[in-house]
Copies of this chain bind each other. A is one copy, B any other.
Amino acid sequence: MLTDRQRDVLGFIQREQRERGVTPSTREIQQHFKLASQTSVMQYIAALERKGFLDRQARKARSLVTAMQKVRITDIPIYGQIPAGMSVLTEQTVEGHVSLDTASVNASKNGRTFALRVRGDSMIDAHILDGDVVILEDRKEVRSGDIVAALIDGETTLKRYVLERGRPYLKAENPLFPNLVPAQELLIQGVMVSLVRKHLPATPRRRI
A residues apposed to B, CB below 8 Å: 18, 20-23, 25, 55, 57, 62-63, 66, 71, 73, 75, 96-101, 103-106, 124-129, 133, 143-147, 191-205, 207
Contact = CB atoms under 8 A, between A and B. Distances in A.
Given A21-B66, A71-B99, A75-B71, A144 B193 contact: no
A145 B62 contact: no
Contacts of A147: 199
A112 to B, nearest CB: 14
Contact of A99 (B73, B97, B133): B73
Contacts of A193: 198-199, 201
A205 B123 CA distance: 12
B57 A199 contact: no
Contacts of A25: 62
A199 B194 contact: yes
Given A100-B100, A104-B133, A198 B194 contact: yes
Contacts of A192: 199
Contacts of A20: 57
A53 to B, nearest CB: 14
Given A99-B101, A101-B98, A18 B203 contact: no
Contacts of A66: 21-22
Contacts of A63: 22-23, 62-63
